[in-house]
Structure 1
């Protein structure tokens, strides 16, 4: 593993990545060998095969990061930023460590925890836990925590440290629980705190805002939430529940569903499903067993009355087995939306004929108007049937209602590329907005990093200037998505290429902020590879 300099510089590391990529594109043997040794995509391939890969800047950055011992460029950058921002200031260093070891809103930010970067920072500054007992809790330093409790027993429930946490919350929310070499120490810290009288249900208030201009929303953070819904630690969750932790803290059950190893344990200790949105959250994942488990603890709940759960299951494209589980739990197959759309029709609108068949078998009416037949054929990508109906009804799709036309962005959000392409070709209003964030189909495609879908929509008349519900346009979507990467396999460089090919201008350097560029007069922050491509196109156009 290569060693970073004593004062690492992210700009220097960026240049290393760009130079590596340039050497690779010149087929330099050393560059090819470095990718073979460090990049998972190139592992096990012969040099000739690696040379043919269409590697991009993010691949070079990943290679550089791994050569320095980090799993990702994001981890490397987070570590370097923390190092540089905290030089010479212990208080800033402590806050920087907390921003790495804790996740998102708990650390007053929107980023994921970076335990690998936090561990590197702690290794280089081993005195951090001795300076702050709350950091000792986060680091799993049982000896320091024991001495702190012996010297000041009242500290056990004190709110403090860089983030204003109780010692117990500081331990259970630490992402080091996911790192084997820290886990046992953190468990010992929790035992020490509980034995010393820590209030297991003491919570602290945090504020969060999902949209930049939205007012902050207060929420309560408990120790159990950290164990069950952040770090998904089964043994620690059982320890807390056995010691009296309240499973109905308003957060633990819902968040445990992201990785439901602790969900059965919470239910065993009395977690209430009703009123937690846990059933809805469970339908965001294709996990039938967990969904059935929740249903078994939700008999008679108001959430099973009406059709909200059933329609949510359809919108989340869940399986016929999920639908049958809902029907077995008492959901009426004949329910309708407030607009009078049946679940059967809705399933066909989403291109789910197997789900529609399950509803029909349970007694749902199956009559379809010609408009709905046209929509169903589009949604299942049956071009022949859709064109046959349209030949008889040339007013389609223009004659459809807005709620029907919104299926274009809905299906784009779900990644249904075939139906989206067919609908666009058949004249669906390309700028129609819908989906969770009231966005056009092109916005949804770019959010997903689906370059092929984006190019198809652009070819049918979509524009990069189309806006979405957060008050920005497709360029803003590209900015956010390329930086946050909501899907693992997104191709945001490909999306940028498609947008520029259809009229979006390239970028110019931002003289005030080196981490940003300017597109069409507006400051934007993109991933490194997207920014590099846009700057290249901007320079070409300027020349």
Structure 2
């Protein structure tokens, strides 16, 4: 039987829902049958095996607050605790300021660069709010009708004023095509066909497929959009929401595939990437070749190369400048031998050098990738004339006996390492390379050396990944939670941001994503105790700073003395 969805009251209290989740967690720990049934009914834990006594079966998942919260979220029709928290906020806003309900709804339908916020769109909540509030709040506004794919309202508007399809309007001052293609409701089956039909109709009515609007991403706004960064209808279809049908409709109507955003963001949407490339989207100069090497996506790499990706393209501004070619960037990102073979087969030059003068084979050795190094040296053993280079390679491979033997031959090796070589410690931490990190730290690498994409120490990198095992090791060997990173905060700020946002692509490792474990390690190694912030019910005070954390991290920090 499908579980009955619970409705939130008019003024829901998130603190009350948090208490319910903690009670469910306690009941789960005590193996109360009703708690296990709730968890199983919402597929938070595995269903019991048919024909076996329920009492004799063990729930495979260990009791965790995040899973109890997920169960509560699903009971209220939300896909995650984050979504339920956002829905609570929306419901309270509606209760306290009903006159702005349309603005609240639009903030759920469209992403931040359309509505002027830092928030992402939440289509499920937008649909739920529309169901509860009713479509009457949209009125006969054709631009609002574009957001939901209400084709009949569009037709009525054109019977009154055929020219409306050519101009921006509505509460967000959007051109009609952008109002359609940037609507996140296209991700929901109940709205997708209506939005696609609306786009077909608008194009047939003569709307320009290259309609644009200035980005509203802060500090820009709806009232003062950016003149430098344009939003296109194609970017909404292909880059924001990855809808292949909307993308193809626009391309068939003559949308410019080289709008500066669509191709780069469509890397995550292969069904949209292919038609963009077939329509002539330019790969060279977009940074897409570097972006695809950030991800383990060999098929997309080959697709970009087949459509003119430039193997000599200079990197984007920032950290990539030290690795000035896609081949070097692939090595730095720890991509596979197949990735490197693909680049070489396409004409990548193995003699290309880093800003420090290393060729590709030497860089591969420096990053602990001997198989790549051998291939780049055309099957020969790559030459390593300097003792320090051999020492670095041994450390990056996690070969501590070999590294110690070299260190015994020249005890001052670590002190003589270059700045680029010292930055390998945070690089290895960011890649989740435990053995390399242990070897480097044990042999005297300066533990607080900043590096990586955001100039952060190995400890900051471990906390960002939620790698509690690595974090504990680093703390035990002298790392400090006060180590400052390139964004001006320290590991406490890293813990706050990462635990709340749970970043994607944090890499391999059994402990990746264990921010509560990182919090416990930091507290056990001298970070001051936490207490609730009397001025902010969602924050904790630590060392005089008010910060928000995930609920699981808060629980750990408040529980530890």
Q: Determine which of 239, 263, 268 is the counterpart of 1:229.
A: 239
Decide which moves more: 437-446 or 419-428: 419-428
Pairwise CA distance, 1:38: 2.2
Give secondary structure in 2 for the equivalent of 1:224: helix
Pairwise CA distance, 1:435: 0.5
User: What do the CA deviations read for 1:433-457 (whole angstroms, capped 9, x no partner)?
Assistant: 0000000011111101111111111
Pairwise CA distance, 1:254: 0.6
Give secondary structure in 2 for the equivalent of 1:257: helix
Q: Is 1:169 aligned to residue 173 of structure 2? A: no
User: What do the CA deviations read for 1:58-79 (whole angstroms, capped 9, x no partner)?
Assistant: 1111110111221111111111
User: What do the CA deviations read for 1:121-154 (whole angstroms, capped 9, x no partner)?
Assistant: 1111222333643332122222222222322322
Q: Distance in 2 between matches of 1:165 and 1:418?
A: 53
Q: Is 1:388 aligned to residue 408 of structure 2? A: no
Which residue pairs with 1:524 in the alignment?
547
Q: Determine which of 400, 412, 425 is the counterpart of 2:417.
A: 400
Following superposition of structure 1 onto structure 2, how do residues 367-386 of structure 1 map, counting pairs within 5 Å?
367-386=384-403
Which residue pairs with 2:6 in the alignment?
3
Following superposition of structure 1 onto structure 2, how do residues 437-452 of structure 1 map, counting pairs within 5 Å?
437-452=454-469
Which residue pairs with 1:180 in the alignment?
189
**Conservation of the 8 A alpha-carbon contact between 2:312 and 2:325:** no
Following superposition of structure 1 onto structure 2, how do residues 462-481 of structure 1 map, counting pairs within 5 Å?
462-481=479-498
Aligned-residue Cα RMSD (Å) equals: 2.4
Q: Distance in 1 between matches of 2:380 and 2:183?
A: 50
Which residue pairs with 1:213 in the alignment?
none
Pairwise CA distance, 1:252: 0.5
Following superposition of structure 1 onto structure 2, how do residues 529-540 of structure 1 map, counting pairs within 5 Å?
529-537=552-560, 540=561
Give secondary structure in 2 for the equivalent of 1:123: helix
Q: Determine which of 230, 233, 246 is the counterpart of 2:256.
A: 246
Q: Determine which of 79, 82, 100 is the counterpart of 1:74.
A: 82
Decide which moves more: 295-304 or 347-356: 295-304
Pairwise CA distance, 1:333: 0.7
Which residue pairs with 1:455 in the alignment?
472
How many positions carry a matched residue from both structures?
A: 533
Question: Structure 1 stretches of 5 or more lacking a match?
Answer: 211-215
Which residue pairs with 1:93 in the alignment?
101
Q: Distance in 2 between matches of 1:160 and 1:364?
A: 65
CA change 1:259–1:350 in 2 (3 A) is farther
**Conservation of the 8 A alpha-carbon contact between 2:284 and 2:308:** yes
**Conservation of the 8 A alpha-carbon contact between 2:45 and 2:61:** no
**Conservation of the 8 A alpha-carbon contact between 1:207 and 1:217:** no
Q: Determine which of 292, 303, 322 is the counterpart of 2:339.
A: 322
Which residue pairs with 1:421 in the alignment?
438
Moved over 6 A (4+): none
Following superposition of structure 1 onto structure 2, how do residues 9-24 of structure 1 map, counting pairs within 5 Å?
9-24=13-28
Q: Distance in 2 between matches of 1:415 and 1:447?
A: 11
Pairwise CA distance, 1:265: 0.8
Give secondary structure in 2 for the equivalent of 1:86: helix
Following superposition of structure 1 onto structure 2, how do residues 201-220 of structure 1 map, counting pairs within 5 Å?
201-208=210-217, 218-220=228-230
**Conservation of the 8 A alpha-carbon contact between 2:430 and 2:461:** yes
TM-score normalized by the length of structure 1: 0.92
TM-score normalized by the length of structure 2: 0.89
Which residue pairs with 1:511 in the alignment?
534
Q: Distance in 1 between matches of 2:264 and 2:272?
A: 11
Q: Distance in 1 between matches of 2:518 and 2:554?
A: 12
Question: Structure 2 stretches of 5 or more lacking a match?
Answer: 220-225, 316-322, 506-511
Following superposition of structure 1 onto structure 2, how do residues 337-376 of structure 1 map, counting pairs within 5 Å?
337-361=354-378, 366-376=383-393
Following superposition of structure 1 onto structure 2, how do residues 98-137 of structure 1 map, counting pairs within 5 Å?
98-127=106-135, 128-130=137-139, 132-137=141-146
Q: Distance in 2 between matches of 1:344 and 1:225?
A: 38
CA change 1:299–1:26 in 2 (3 A) is closer
Q: Distance in 1 between matches of 2:299 and 2:60?
A: 43
